């Protein structure tokens, strides 16, 4: 029994040595944002900004990040927002149409 404990202790020590300190720092530097559902208001804000900026995939997403943080207190990464924008346009046609109608009425 003591022999198996010693073997498992040696195995766990080897695992610790294999992981380099560089890998740990690269993971800690990355920001992780919790992927939560977007409210209708957040989506409305995102679509409004991206439509006004004539979003082409390169510019405008920073404005959305700042606006969502300022108005809703939500921090989202640009990648999360790009994916949500793409999903709205390609997969969720009804939701996208509803947002466009609300934006049209507000103008």
pLDDT tens readout for residues 76-98:
888 889 899 889 989 999 999 99
- The domain locations on the chain are 40-106
Mean pLDDT over 34-54 rounds to 86
CA distances in angstroms from 31 to 9, 26, 60, 82, listed in the order given? 33, 10, 20, 16
**Gap between the Cα atoms of 3 and 67, Å rounded:** 60
Q: Grade residue 27 by pLDDT with cuts at 50, 70 and 90.
A: low
Q: Is 76 helix (H, G, I), strand (E, B) or coil?
A: coil
- Answer yes or no: is pLDDT of 65 > 60: yes
- Answer yes or no: is pLDDT of 66 > 60: yes
- Answer yes or no: is pLDDT of 22 > 60: no
- pTM of the predicted model as reported, rounded to 2 decimal places: 0.63
**Gap between the Cα atoms of 5 and 20, Å rounded:** 25
Q: Is 65 helix (H, G, I), strand (E, B) or coil?
A: helix
């Amino acid at each position: 029994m003591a022999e198996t404990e010693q073997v498992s202790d040696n195995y766990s020590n080897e695992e610790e040595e294999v992981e380099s300190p560089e890998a740990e720092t690269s993971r800690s530097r990355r920001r992780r944002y919790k992927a939560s559902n977007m409210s209708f208001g957040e989506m409305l804000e995102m679509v409004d900004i991206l439509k006004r900026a004539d979003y082409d995939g390169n510019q405008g997403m920073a404005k959305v990040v700042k606006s969502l943080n300022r108005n809703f207190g939500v921090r989202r990464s640009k990648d999360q927002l790009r994916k949500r924008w793409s999903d709205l346009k390609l997969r969720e046609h009804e939701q996208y149409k509803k947002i466009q109608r609300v934006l049209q009425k507000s103008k």
